[in-house]
Structure 1
Amino acid sequence: MYINCHTYYSLRYGTFSEVDLLDLAKENGITILALTDINNTSACLNFIRKSPEYQIKPVIGIDFRCGATQYYVGLAKNNEGFQELNAFLSHHTHNNLNLPPEAPTLTHTYMVYPLERVMQLEKKTFAPNEYIGVSVEELKKLPFSIYKTYTEKLVVQQQVTIRNKRDFNAHRLLRAIDNNTLLSKLQKSEECRTSDVMLPLEALKAAYAHYPHILANTETLLNACTIDFSFGSDRISQNQKVYLESPEADYELLEKLCEDNLHKRYSKPTEKVKARLQTELTTIKTMDFVSYFLINYDIVSYSKRMGYIHVGRGSGANSIVAYIIGITDVDPIELDLYFERFINPFRASPPDFDIDFSWKDREDITQYIFKRFKNVALLATYNTFKYRGVVRELGKVFGLPKEEIDKLSDGKYAADSLDEMGKLVLKYGQLIRGFPNHLSVHSCGVLILEKPIHYYSATDMPPKGFPTIQFDMIIAEDVGIFKFDILGQRGLAKIKEAIEIIQYNRPELPPIEITQVEAFKSDPKINDLLKRGKAIGAYYVESPAMRGLMQKLQTQDYLGLVAASSIIRPGVSSSGMKKEFIVRQRYPEKRKEANPMLLQIMPETYGIMVYQEDVLKVANQFAGLTLGEADVLRRGMSGKFRSRTEFVEVEEKFIKNCKDKGYTEELTLEVWNQIKSFAGYAFAKGHSASYAVESYQSLYLKCYFPLEFMVAVLNNGGGFYSAEHYIHEAKMCGAVVHPPCINNSDHPNIIKGKDIYLGFGYLKSLEVLTIKRFLTDRNFNGSFTSLDDFIDRVVISIEQITILIRIDAFRFTERSKTELLWEAIFKLNVSKQGTVQARLFKPSHKQFNLPTLTTTFVEEAYDQIELLGFPLCSYFDLVDETFQNNIKASDMHLYINQNVLLYGVLVNTRFHKTSNNKLIRFCTFIDRAGHYFDTVHFTKVVDKYPINGMGVYGCYGKVTEEFDFCSLDIVWSKKMSLKPDPRS
């Protein structure tokens, strides 16, 4: 009997979830129910999925509104009607159009106008599918309205938005947030009515007792609506079913692609290769994943035609078919990749292909997908109200002063000191926390479907310009929609740009074949960079943690890097297995201490679970679970499940099977806890291997073309470290780094021989338009010959030219910055604005006799700090204190377990929370020689000796050593004072 119900996906309006709505309906004896969120369909599919559990027949639709004003409610007669409603709403959303005051003619829908609306419109005629909705509160108006005679058109429209007074209060707060107004100033027209609640079925019928025809019409309307989607184990894939004209043609193409490309990957294919290929092809065909492989192949082929670099990752990287046809570059035979991780007969979803492209190329790839395929959309994600955000919003709604809002949102208050208003903010903050706030775009999910997108959902049009559905990944997978992961990353952009820079800077060299990874893997110089932790700038292996791990493991080959990229993940580390892996790697005699059965299952990783596949192997071979049950275990630990029930059942079976096999309780729990601690974080082995391929490509460039590579790193936003540190690294590799220069620099950084000229993009105060002006003029008219020449040719204000002079961009004139500044002021007449257009004739400039004015290197450094964010000299050169007796980072191994003093420039700092919620700080520094040392600041010294920003620190502490890697346990640290700024 309820045809107009809202959930909290009626954003900033509704007050509970779709599951809460079903609970409410069951409590009130309702057996058929319509979900109609305001201009939104996010909850529809999950509402349909969950309804059978409550013995409720679901009906879905949309409450069409302009702001808070209800125009009409559309109900889907069937799936086609849902598609019509979605398409209608989406057309208006995409084109930023107002909804029409009267409902459109949609064949498979019912349209219900609220009584108040038809009275305003004075609507007299109604289409066969149009009705008039009357709420309980409006029944008193009906006898005095002409619409009382429209007996066949009247239906119950008792809106459901709230459950009680608390919900109503939360609703009003949400409306105030949405309208950006004080609660006291919220218009009544923006709120629902206090009577917009669900009444028990008998009470609802009693309310309409004098209007039995209204109840009958409502029942007829709801019974005429049916909606059908399959979910869970009953679902079928909704993805595009064929790539060509038929499944047979698709399979023929996939076979041919494998046949044509087999010898490119395996010059002499072994029987093992052929058998694996045939097994995969048969399984892919049987499980109807052929089109999924071909679509991924199509996307990758386009990227190759465009000269883009890609990396294929995910569980699909375990596939030999994907390797042969070029989706991935990971050889599953070489790495003994577990076939059943990427595909097994129990798996309903296709394998994951996470395809990375350069962040600069990703949008073009996405554009291609939308043009190439028919039914395409981006996947959504829900941005929810977080604690701090919602407290700030509520604080503003209640009119609290900023100081009070800051105190509440930061949690810096004593509960007993709060006034009534503060308590209300916290009370409703907890209630609203977690509500969806607005829809956003999933980071990488693209949907390519068999049926039109609007068959499943309405779509939004975010700023990126691609239609985006209104539900998330979990709901998508529930209904059989599997995303294609198209990601953008900076690592690939660095590789691509580095190759371009090398071609420009060293044109005498032959073109670089960056895909020849096999040669890179066996190159001792490249592997030595890994072993010594010298991989700064290289993708995935440059962080302090990874640099330390490489040195501890003494990693010097591809397989070692593959393992390292997985064991560094949080779960393996926290379980203690990372340390155990290092022990067994470094000391082969320790490997015999592994459990014999686990060692047999995982010989390559010495009986230690490192990859996601290991969960499947151990669950299957150690505990006797089926592969299907093992996959439930893996997915459950990855957070990819709706209900914990299935997961708990598998957990219980794991423990029972181990007991039946005669394992001790200690061994069973040890293995189970190992699985539990890391499975949610671990990579599939093929995924790790894909990362390692990209790392080797970066390492090759870093090894043989370090300067060009570092320029590419800087031009693509760096990586783990700051731009300042990558500039330091470039200097360590032999570069001469110059500040921006009017005649040599560009907007990005450029390199000429060994000279790196920083880009004008670092000068945050320099306007983009100004940069465009003088670079365009330089490109057309050649280099500038003097300050006068620059002023004559470029329209510029005194403020903008001052920035260029202060960064020493006119140093080619061989005149001091102070002289140039005075001259610029005189010649631009201290004007606030430059000439509005270029001069037709060069003016004659008056020459001024100025005294000799000089600039010290300290002034230069402070100008650079102010304009670039860092100095180009060493911070050590700016220290204004006497250095005490200290050691170098390279000598730490000589002072193990001794207290020593080191001086270093801060590179990176990060915190880690202990089990008792206290903070430990980890820092990385470089000493005067440019070498790294790492420090650990335990809880006793974290607050006592803070680390405040860049500069030189004196670090006194005890040298500790683990697997030949030294670090410093801090006793005290002190930031060194710098020479005063002579400009002030």
Structure 2
Amino acid sequence: MYLNCHTYYSLRYGTFPEQELCELAKEHEATAVALTDINNTSACLSFLKIASEYDFKPLIGIDFRNGVQQQYVGLARNNVGFKQLNDHLSAHLHVEKDFDKDAPELPDCFVIYPLEKVMQDEKWHFRENEFIGVSVESLRKLKFSKYLQLREKLVLLQTVSFRSKRDYNAHRLLRAIDNNMLLSKLPESEQGSPTQQMLPKNVIFEEFADYPFILENTQKLIEGCSVEFEFGKARKNRNLQVFGQSREEDAETLKALCYKNLPRRYPNASEATYARVEKELQAIISLGFVSYFLINYDIIQYAKSKNYPFIGRGSGANSVVAYIIGITNVDPIELDLYFERFINASRHSPPDFDIDFSWKDRQDVTAYIFSRHKNMALLATYVTFKRRAVIRELGKVFGLPKAEIDKLSAGFFEYKDLDEMEKLVFRYSGLIAGFPNYLSVHAGGIMITQEPVHSYAATFLPPKGFATIQFDMNIAEDVGIFKFDILAQRGLSKITDAIEIVRENQPEAEVEDMENVSVFKNDPNINNLLRTGDCMGVFYVESPAMRGLFQKLQTEDYLGLVAASSIIRPGVSNGGMKEEYIKRHRDPERRKQAHPVLAEILSETYGVMVYQEDVLKVAHFFAGLSLEEADILRRGMSGKRMSHHDFKQLEEKFYNNCREKGYSEELTRDVWNQILSFAGYAFPKGHSASYAVESYQSLYLKYYFPLEFMVACLNNGGGFYDVETYIQEIRKCGGRVHAPDINRSEHHTVIYGRDVYLGLGYIKELEIKVVQRILENRNFFGLFESFDDFIDRVPISIEQLSLLLKIDAFRFTDIDKHHLLWKAFFKLNHSKRKTSQQLLFKPPHRDFELPELSHSFLIDAYDQMELLGFSLHDHFSLLKNPMKPEAIKAKDLKQYIGKDIEIYGNLITAKRTPTVNKEYMCFGTFFDAAGDIFDTVQFPRATEQYPLRSKGIYLCHGRVLEELGYICVSISWLERQETQGDPRFVNQRQNIAKVGEDGNGLVLR
């Protein structure tokens, strides 16, 4: 009977998970075990679920502590008591307030004060449900204590935090990490006692032989506790069940919404369409998912009222009801999306709706949801100790030098060569790796429950200010809480920002309604961008892999884009089905190689499984599983929890049905293995279709408003590539890119006609408050008329002003930046005013005669590299040696297919990929001197001999290859080209060398 047990969710204190606590209880024949983690309830529900398979009574509660100083332990007598404990803990976590020495009134809980704490505080008054906890270690203190007379208040409180000496050592290391101190400096007050272990039953009875009433009191307390939750198949749906006034009213509301909006989505709806709607409505109502739909609909309506763009996706995109009422914009009838992928009679969880909002809007949408519903919280995620990070932390705890820590963390060592301290770090890093380190917030998961969220766990308050529950989505689903996914992405804000920029830069231009995607789908200009892979900046399809895939597939329509978005995924790609799909797509004769049954089932994809729905189709039509069984199989293969027994049963039925249908064992095994390798990574078709809609919206803007669209890309953090690559794309589209300008630039990047001015925010080390000061002054008092005018109007330090001068932000003055820098030092002297108040009278300025200062575009280039991270000058103009005249251009590669060539390229990105032989290939993307992009491939030998380790210009020698219209260069060798050095440092070195020759200084080596 152990009423105070910790798992490793007692963060940076406990040393093992809840599963191992149950194993420990079994080993010691414990009759009752209470999980009471320190200020944490992450493991409580999981413990109850796991403990149901063991022969002891599980109890749950909380060990309330200030730091590591135990105040009292709270045990839940029932589910109401568990909520009371969570309410109490959450109230303190939200404001980071210490617990009082006395617990508040918790009528449905038992509160146990440790004997040492009681004696220290000389506490004598206890409520009926409050007790004094006595451990084996503190028993000797009780013998001579006046508290022995409170017989009815004494219970056993043997804390369990460790199983062994090794656990205790790990605990001390965790405490040192938590306190950021050397292990040798860790005070005992920050550690638990090594005696906090589970003892055999006979030892407990022997120790308390003279105090049987303590064990009797403990047993009575245990008998008074019972917290119950249902899990797995026995669970009930704990989401909010009623959105309006009643279930019946909700059902009528959903029906009315459907039939009101149906004509808008389907102007010429067929009987089959009405039948599909009726079938879905019946399933949604009978399975109790009406409120789930209405909540998502309400969220979308709020977003529309604010003109927030959104993308509705997930399995819910297979629902025609979701399409009709506007949760998604994917037509499941047009795309032949399976109803059973979204919902079926065997499914006990509601369908997934992943709703993407702009990263700028998601916070407000979340705030709206919190204002709309009473019982809700964000879901947490556990940030665990990673092996390399643990090695670094332990290295610091043991006081190892940085060089040794770097060596261990990087893995560059032989274990036998390590000294004892290093081996200790390595061994314990393996033990601690995987432990939860702290709680964070799930990317987008929100729970909205029928009962208060504290009925399930406590909540904490992360920086963004939304209550977050202390467990993750897995245990939430286990107990019947199904999350709403409110996600953020930058692709949507690129679209809205681009439209806004177009309206400012081209006020006369007409921009299509972004909801009218059918216009974009049928635009040959837009589809040509797909076919040629010209998709830089376009959401989800701009990577080199997608660009190459489009060229191979000759993608030129919406359905082709939907398919491409799926076959690029690892499941299809790794199984070899991507190449087969491409070949069958390009060669009608090859399609005949598909098995007739698969060819008929998957006619749209030529007998190749591309989408998650294809698992349903194959399992149902090919192997004869019911659609419900097929969806269970799909979910099991997609990482959803499923018992091994259930999975094996479905696998056995799959094989047996195929035998009955007369398929060969080889064919059956091949199809099963395809499903097995494919389903866990594949996209549902509706998911790909949702992303394809957003891609088409971006493609429209990229074709008709390329400069504005690329500026929006820059202002939203870019995408797959770095800033410099998007700047190159702006130039390719006819734009002129300028460094930040004190009179033209904003904090973000702006465009005037074809002139693009980088934002002041791009200048490294330029303080935000300085930028704000400049912009506020300029907006209020007008443009700066001169350098002196700027100095008079904007309080600024010489260090911050130097940054602006080095980037040549005052070029409107037509004065060389080096002259201005000298003037700045003269003008910003110690008498410079410190107030930001505008001067009533401008002070007179003295000018100074300065000598002629040398200037070079190389100096500008290196200043830009230092302050922006890249140069706005043509990189090829910076080369030390001229390019070979015989080197070809990217646009001419198709004329040299099968031939060896040399080509100069500025590296954009490179990706190393392992082969089946565990060697590495490398795929590179470059742009040439004309700004055109080309791709390279390096096979293992070339990858090893000529690695692409850094950005820069390379001379690439290789053979031009072509595959289905996609051209690349197979590299034989490449050489990084040397650039001209910064003339300031070159001259400095020459001067030093000259001084050395004169014998008056050191020779530069």
2:375 aligned partner: 375
Q: Percent identity?
A: 60
Query: What's the offset of the Cα at 1:731?
Result: 1.0
1:850 aligned partner: 850
Residue identity opposite 2:907 in structure 1: L
1:753-768 equivalent positions in 2, closer than 5 A: 753-768=753-768
1:586 aligned partner: 586
1:279 aligns with 2:312: no
2:990 aligned partner: none
Name the SS of the counterpart of 2:945 in structure 1: coil
Unaligned ranges ≥5, structure 1? none
Query: What's the offset of the Cα at 1:632?
Result: 3.0
Q: Distance in 2 between matches of 1:431 and 1:808?
A: 55
Listed one character per residue, the Cα deviations across residues 657-697 of structure 1 (whole Å, up to 9, x for unaligned) are 32343321211121111111121111110000000000000
Q: Is the 8 A contact 1:798 1:830 kept in 2?
A: no
Query: What's the offset of the Cα at 1:836?
Result: 6.1
Q: Distance in 1 between matches of 2:760 and 2:796?
A: 15
Listed one character per residue, the Cα deviations across residues 631-671 of structure 1 (whole Å, up to 9, x for unaligned) are 33222222221654433333333233323433212111211
Listed one character per residue, the Cα deviations across residues 64-101 of structure 1 (whole Å, up to 9, x for unaligned) are 11111111100000000000000100000101111011
2:636 aligned partner: 636
1:970 aligns with 2:971: yes
Query: What's the offset of the Cα at 1:628?
Result: 3.4
1:982 aligned partner: 983
Q: Distance in 1 between matches of 2:831 and 2:677?
A: 66
Q: Distance in 2 between matches of 1:103 and 1:815?
A: 73
Q: Distance in 2 between matches of 1:959 and 1:766?
A: 46
1:708 aligned partner: 708
Residue identity opposite 2:965 in structure 1: D
Q: Distance in 1 between matches of 2:403 and 2:818?
A: 44
Q: Distance in 1 between matches of 2:899 and 2:189?
A: 74
1:817 aligns with 2:806: no
Name the SS of the counterpart of 1:196 in structure 2: coil
Name whichever of 562-571 and 960-969 sits farther off.
960-969
1:365 aligned partner: 365
Query: What's the offset of the Cα at 1:837?
Result: 4.9
Q: Is the 8 A contact 1:908 1:924 kept in 2?
A: yes
Q: Distance in 2 between matches of 1:403 and 1:851?
A: 49
2:897 aligned partner: 896
Q: Distance in 2 between matches of 1:408 and 1:951?
A: 31
Name whichever of 692-701 and 499-508 sits farther off.
499-508
Residue identity opposite 2:891 in structure 1: S
Q: Distance in 2 between matches of 1:481 and 1:974?
A: 57
Name the SS of the counterpart of 1:974 in structure 2: strand
2:988 aligned partner: none
Q: Distance in 2 between matches of 1:949 and 1:862?
A: 17
Q: Distance in 1 between matches of 2:952 and 2:26?
A: 64
Q: Is the 8 A contact 1:893 1:966 kept in 2?
A: yes
Q: Could you tell me the TM-score, scaled by structure 1's length? A: 0.98
1:739 aligned partner: 739
Q: Is the 8 A contact 2:584 2:606 kept in 1?
A: yes
Query: What's the offset of the Cα at 1:605?
Result: 0.7
1:444-463 equivalent positions in 2, closer than 5 A: 444-463=444-463
2:305 aligned partner: 305
Q: Distance in 2 between matches of 1:832 and 1:887?
A: 58
2:188 aligned partner: 188
Q: Distance in 2 between matches of 1:833 and 1:598?
A: 81
2:1003 aligned partner: none
1:385-464 equivalent positions in 2, closer than 5 A: 385-464=385-464
Query: What's the offset of the Cα at 1:511?
Result: 5.3
Residue identity opposite 1:578 in structure 2: K
2:351 aligned partner: 351
Query: What's the offset of the Cα at 1:896?
Result: 2.2
2:994 aligned partner: none
Listed one character per residue, the Cα deviations across residues 558-578 of structure 1 (whole Å, up to 9, x for unaligned) are 000000000000111111000
1:96 aligned partner: 96
Q: Distance in 2 between matches of 1:226 and 1:476?
A: 20
Query: What's the offset of the Cα at 1:961?
Result: 1.5
Q: Distance in 1 between matches of 2:44 and 2:801?
A: 59
1:146 aligns with 2:164: no
Residue identity opposite 1:477 in structure 2: E
Q: Could you tell me the TM-score, scaled by structure 2's length? A: 0.96
1:155-174 equivalent positions in 2, closer than 5 A: 155-174=155-174
1:799 aligns with 2:790: no
Query: What's the offset of the Cα at 1:410?
Result: 1.0
Query: What's the offset of the Cα at 1:318?
Result: 0.8
Residue identity opposite 1:894 in structure 2: Q
1:307-706 equivalent positions in 2, closer than 5 A: 307-510=307-510, 512-641=512-641, 643-706=643-706
Q: Is the 8 A contact 1:797 1:831 kept in 2?
A: no
Name the SS of the counterpart of 1:556 in structure 2: coil
Residue identity opposite 2:928 in structure 1: D
Residue identity opposite 2:74 in structure 1: G
1:31 aligned partner: 31
Q: Is the 8 A contact 1:92 1:98 kept in 2?
A: yes
Residue identity opposite 1:470 in structure 2: Q
Name whichever of 616-625 and 158-167 sits farther off.
616-625
Q: Distance in 2 between matches of 1:4 and 1:228?
A: 19
Residue identity opposite 1:659 in structure 2: R
Residue identity opposite 1:949 in structure 2: S
Name the SS of the counterpart of 1:509 in structure 2: coil
Query: What's the offset of the Cα at 1:835?
Result: 6.3
Residue identity opposite 2:709 in structure 1: F
Q: Distance in 2 between matches of 1:766 and 1:29?
A: 65
Query: What's the offset of the Cα at 1:165?
Result: 1.6
Residue identity opposite 1:966 in structure 2: I
Query: What's the offset of the Cα at 1:831?
Result: 8.0
Q: Distance in 2 between matches of 1:901 and 1:940?
A: 19
Query: What's the offset of the Cα at 1:955?
Result: 0.7
Listed one character per residue, the Cα deviations across residues 732-773 of structure 1 (whole Å, up to 9, x for unaligned) are 111111111111111101111111111101101211111111
Q: Distance in 1 between matches of 2:178 and 2:846?
A: 61
Name the SS of the counterpart of 2:331 in structure 1: coil
Name the SS of the counterpart of 2:983 in structure 1: coil
Name the SS of the counterpart of 2:962 in structure 1: strand
1:205 aligns with 2:205: yes
Name the SS of the counterpart of 1:904 in structure 2: strand
Residue identity opposite 1:940 in structure 2: R
Listed one character per residue, the Cα deviations across residues 820-868 of structure 1 (whole Å, up to 9, x for unaligned) are 2222222223889966654331011123333454532222222211211
Q: Distance in 2 between matches of 1:211 and 1:829?
A: 83
Name the SS of the counterpart of 1:826 in structure 2: helix
1:240 aligned partner: 240
1:124 aligned partner: 124
Residue identity opposite 2:61 in structure 1: G
Q: Distance in 2 between matches of 1:165 and 1:794?
A: 64
Q: Distance in 2 between matches of 1:505 and 1:814?
A: 27
Q: Distance in 2 between matches of 1:349 and 1:833?
A: 67
Are the structure 2 counterparts of residues 138 and 850 from structure 1 closer, same or farther at C-alpha, using a change threshold of 3 Å? closer
Q: Distance in 1 between matches of 2:653 and 2:340?
A: 20
Residue identity opposite 1:87 in structure 2: D
Name the SS of the counterpart of 1:745 in structure 2: coil
State how many pairs are aligned: 984
2:997 aligned partner: none
Q: Distance in 2 between matches of 1:274 and 1:181?
A: 68
1:926 aligned partner: 927
Are the structure 2 counterparts of residues 176 and 129 from structure 1 closer, same or farther at C-alpha, using a change threshold of 3 Å? same
Q: Distance in 1 between matches of 2:871 and 2:606?
A: 48
Q: Distance in 2 between matches of 1:248 and 1:112?
A: 47
Query: What's the offset of the Cα at 1:946?
Result: 2.7
Q: Is the 8 A contact 2:375 2:448 kept in 1?
A: yes
1:825-864 equivalent positions in 2, closer than 5 A: 825-829=825-829, 837-853=837-853, 855-864=855-864
Q: Distance in 2 between matches of 1:278 and 1:83?
A: 41
Q: Distance in 1 between matches of 2:676 and 2:47?
A: 31
Q: Distance in 2 between matches of 1:734 and 1:188?
A: 69
Superposed CA RMSD in Å reads 1.5
